[in-house]
Amino acid sequence: MSPFYFSLCLAAMAAQGGWSADSELVRTTVRVDRGSGRLVRTQLVLPREVPPVEVIARERSATVVSPVQLKTEVEQIVEKAAAEHGVDPMLVRSVMQVESNFNPNALSPKGAMGLMQLMPGTARQLGVTNAFDVRQNIEGGVKYLRYLKEKFSDDRLVLAAYNAGEGAVKKHGWIPPYPETIEYVYRVGRKYGEAKLKQPAAPLPPPEKAQPRIVQFVDAEGRIHITMP
């Protein structure tokens, strides 16, 4: 057999490998039998590739809800989680808006997931088993914000750490000089400020009741009189 013909045979046989109808990978290998000198083809059926845990969780979370239902659910969870962890709910919503624009199925090219765009490693540390579950995602994100607020007293550094990581903020001692992080802090900070301005002003306390005026005088006989007109 000529080398050219041998190469054609190999190419033809290898081309028969690929995905089967049931999504299993069929891999074809070709070898030369030493005894007969003939080509021997072997097929190996491999199990389908198992998708990452995050992808499975996302598929399981693909529940169709109306925008109104989603907004109501998000608001309730944010208020409850923010109160439990001592985080301003307006800050949580501002982060959420910039991170995902309130999309529970958002997935960034870097792998950040859900409403608050939790990275897989961060989600695991926070005890989040399904980052595409609305409740778990928000509670995990709020818990992470609380953790960062305990590390950094300035909200700008909290936001910078949320975006670039705690280590980057500690390394630079301020907002890291990354264009993405600088813009992120600005955008979230602006939305947070706007939300505060829209918040209804607290009602003024009722005016204190005026105390009666006490008048004291001494008459011609030297007696002291005290009256309240």
As annotated, the active-site residues are 99
SS3 content of the chain, % helix, strand, coil (to 5): 50, 15, 40
Long-range contacts of 148-156 (CB under 8 A, 24+ apart): 149/87, 155/91, 155/189, 155/192, 156/185, 156/189
Helix residue ranges per DSSP H, the chain: 3-14, 53-60, 67-85, 89-100, 120-125, 134-151, 155-164, 166-172, 179-198
Give the span between the Cα atoms of 213 and 125, in whole angstroms: 66
